Amino acid sequence: MKDIFHAVAVTDRVYWVGAVDWTTRNFHGYFTSRGTTYNAFLVMSEKVTLIDTVKAPFRDEMFARIASIVDPGKIDYVVSNHSEPDHTGCLKDVIDAARPEKVFASKNGAAALERLFGLGDQVSVVADGGSVSLGDANLTFIETRMCHWPDSMVSYLHEDELLFSQDAFGMHLATYQLFDDECDEATLDFEAAKYYANILLPLSSFVIKTLDKAGSLGVNFRIIAPDHGPIWRRDPQKIIDAYARWSAQVRTDKAIVVYDTMWKSTELMARSVGEGLTAGGAKAKLMPLEGSHRSDVAMEILDAGALIVGSPTLNKQLFPTLADCLCYLKGLQPKGLLGAAFGSHGWSGEATALIEASLGEMGVEIVSAPAKSRHAPDTEELQQCYALGQAVAAKLKNR
């Protein structure tokens, strides 16, 4: 590993010593189509300080990058901003190798590290707003509960105006281009939004509180260094503004039509709904689950105004892909959506009622009676689907 993996300078005193995971495609049901990075940072102050670690399989890569700058045994302090194992998988190895003077975490972080790794008695709990001197630099810790876990906190390095933001402001993107100004901007915009939709959307009220708290600190964020994806140094305010927008769940005139089909009947209905939406002035996007992952649907829901769902009835149930997708979306707790249901059936046709029940649990306002068809939609039933799309579009326009 030595002489292969190197640290990357972020500032004169801060180095990236993380790992690039080109293979992972699943983060708790979220399809991470571009892999990810686990970012760890070394602050080369008088007190050599490691901020976060990496997922366990990447231990050797992280240690090699640290060793390219300093003997890992010389690490004085370790900060654990977030206890989820993608950032603490190597914490015990670091403690064993470095015997650091202090390991800092929030109170909830210490409790989680005890439950996960039996490390609680080795952690020094830091207060919300508390600071520690690194000798020639100073770190302040700010709790960011539920962004992403109850333990989460961020660390601010005053001298470099650098925020170590753990999961917040991150994205799942494997890349050797570690800074935003080295990456394709459209890719960053997409992956940051997808990450927010799939991880932070249900925690939006906490994101709003955290942004308010950050604003009240009266400090500059020249650099934001998250634990996943590129480091924001060109325009850190851009991702802060995006979080403010996403957490407010501002809705647009976009309508998502999510469906699956057995014999193309529900698909034909979906296409009629899409035509009706478009004729009514909405921006329709059809998402057949045969080719769309649940996490892609979640990404589209981030700014959609309506969620229209179509399913065949299979053995008196929803089609399994729809049940999966609706369960996942319900957990993300989107607010302020309009919706409707449609679907074909051979016998009893329970699917549309099940969809409406599920949308109701999500707080979706049902705009139209469901459109149903037996076996294959005839012209009149397709016109009902078209009218359903028009009704949703009209409601989107007038709210």
Chain positions contacting ligand FEO, by CB under 6 A: 82, 84, 86-87, 148-149, 167, 227-228
Shortest Å, Cβ 145 to ligand FEO = 13
- Catalytic site residue from 77, 228, 260, 328: 228
User: Which residue has 């993996």 as its token pair?
Assistant: 5
By C-beta, is 167 or 356 nearer to ligand FEO? 167
- Catalytic site residue from 86, 143, 227, 296: 86
**Encoded tokens for 8:** 């990357």
d(CA 235, CA 157): 18
By C-beta, is 21 or 76 nearer to ligand FEO? 21
Neighbour count for residue 197 (Cβ, 10 Å): 22
CA angle 5, 10, 15 (to 5 degrees): 45
Query: Is 84 part of the annotated catalytic residue set?
Result: yes
Shortest Å, Cβ 298 to ligand FEO = 16
d(CA 394, CA 397): 5
Contacts of 320 (CB under 8 A, 6+ apart): 314
d(CA 135, CA 10): 19
User: Which element (helix H / strand E) includes 332?
Assistant: helix 320-332
Q: Which residues pair with 138 in a beta bridge?
A: 133
**Encoded tokens for 150:** 């109850």
**Encoded tokens for 210:** 């955290």
Number of H helices, E strands in the chain: 12, 24
- Catalytic site residue from 76, 84, 143, 151: 84
Q: What is the DSSP letter of 371?
A: E
Query: Is 148 part of the annotated catalytic residue set?
Result: yes
By C-beta, is 80 or 373 nearer to ligand FEO? 80
Shortest Å, Cβ 227 to ligand FEO = 5
d(CA 176, CA 74): 27
Neighbour count for residue 350 (Cβ, 10 Å): 17
Shortest Å, Cβ 290 to ligand FEO = 30
- Catalytic site residue from 30, 52, 76, 82: 82
By C-beta, is 154 or 270 nearer to ligand FEO? 154
Shortest Å, Cβ 20 to ligand FEO = 14
By C-beta, is 200 or 258 nearer to ligand FEO? 200
Query: Is 195 part of the annotated catalytic residue set?
Result: yes
Query: Is 228 part of the annotated catalytic residue set?
Result: yes
By C-beta, is 24 or 317 nearer to ligand FEO? 24
Shortest Å, Cβ 194 to ligand FEO = 14
Shortest Å, Cβ 149 to ligand FEO = 6
C-alpha dihedral (17, 21, 22, 26), degrees to nearest 10: -150
CA angle 208, 325, 273 (to 5 degrees): 100
By C-beta, is 21 or 260 nearer to ligand FEO? 21
Shortest Å, Cβ 55 to ligand FEO = 9
Residue 229's nearest CA partner among 194, 157, 180, 185 is 180
By C-beta, is 80 or 390 nearer to ligand FEO? 80
Angle between helical axes of 236-247 and 204-216 (0-180°, round to 10): 140
Query: What distance lies between CA 351 and its chain's CA centroid?
Result: 30
Residue with the CB atom nearest ligand FEO in the bound state: 84
Rg (CA), the chain: 24
Q: What are the catalytic residues?
A: 28, 82, 84, 86, 148, 167, 195, 228
